[in-house]
Structure 1
């Protein structure tokens, strides 16, 4: 395994078209929002833990909030990670292959990422609606459980869009590459 280098084809491509740039903008915005959520969760956890150990103050429902929001925040990072080629790749056997072959293999991987994102978005939404119909709420705060589950859907939809866009982009890059 190796880290992508900024000078490689895996740096952000200037060859992204308007759609790719828009998807990248959405992915970056979602990653920033996810980061802000994680920072807020860390602050809440520190306040709760320090308060519990020092003055007996606990943030009510801190574990519930952590569980609900961390899933939403994590889902928001996936599209940006894929567009920046931050996914995990084991290229031990492929690092000596021609660049065109690598583009084609990456395109196939991006297609799978797009299909995965679409499937998980669909099932997350279906699950959220099932939980909504059941009226399930969290135990301590009595928050509707379906809302944070539904908030994961945009992350997976943008992941699907990023995967499908990168599939086409990588095939175009392969077509431009000489063997």
Structure 2
């Protein structure tokens, strides 16, 4: 059952990363069209109205959507300065501590994002030019952060399991 859950959570992390990548490509396209419109302003074209607002919302979503992927596949930046000096068991303990800290950070970010989302919804704040409700961006980020919380909790479980049953660490990644 563990391997089935691991596989599904890995797929969920991959899907959110792909959605973030699609959002990033959309931001790139909007930026290119807007820059080209500015360059061709003399021909009756112009920049995309509200391009900066769209870029802000898109980049925010893209950044949040990479968190579950980086957590699940252990792709966060880390310093393995002492790893060669320790044996396998102390390294697994350090991995568990790192996963617990990342889980706490993810849960804390989600909590604050939730409060920010409630605030933006209560005051009906919108972007300046396009009048897009800011709560939409918060909702999109919150959806991805829910996935990030699930992934972070699973990663704590995975690290604890690897500490208790050392020979499963290679199998869990496959």
Please classify the TM superposition score into its range, dividing by the shorter chain length. Answer: 0.7 to 0.9
Q: Per-residue CA shift, 1:113-142, capped at 9, x if unaligned?
A: 112112211221211111111111110000
The answer for the alignment partner of 1:24 in structure 2 is 10
5+ residue gaps, structure 1, are: 1-14
1:77 counterpart (66, 72, 80): 66
State how many pairs are aligned.
164
TM-align CA RMSD:
1.7
TM superposition shift of 1:177 = 3.0
Aligned equivalents of 2:149, 2:101: Cα separation in 1 = 9
Aligned equivalents of 1:157, 1:145: Cα separation in 2 = 19
Question: Does 1:140 pair with 2:129?
Answer: yes
Give the SS at the match of 1:152.
helix
2:47 counterpart (58, 71, 75): 58
TM-score (norm 2): 0.87
5+ residue gaps, structure 2, are: 168-174
- Bigger drift between 126-135 and 150-159 goes to 150-159
The answer for the alignment partner of 2:106 in structure 1 is 117
- Deviation beyond 3 Å, 4+ runs, structure 1: none
Which has the larger helix fraction?
A: 2
2:57 counterpart (63, 68, 71): 68
Aligned equivalents of 2:38, 2:166: Cα separation in 1 = 60
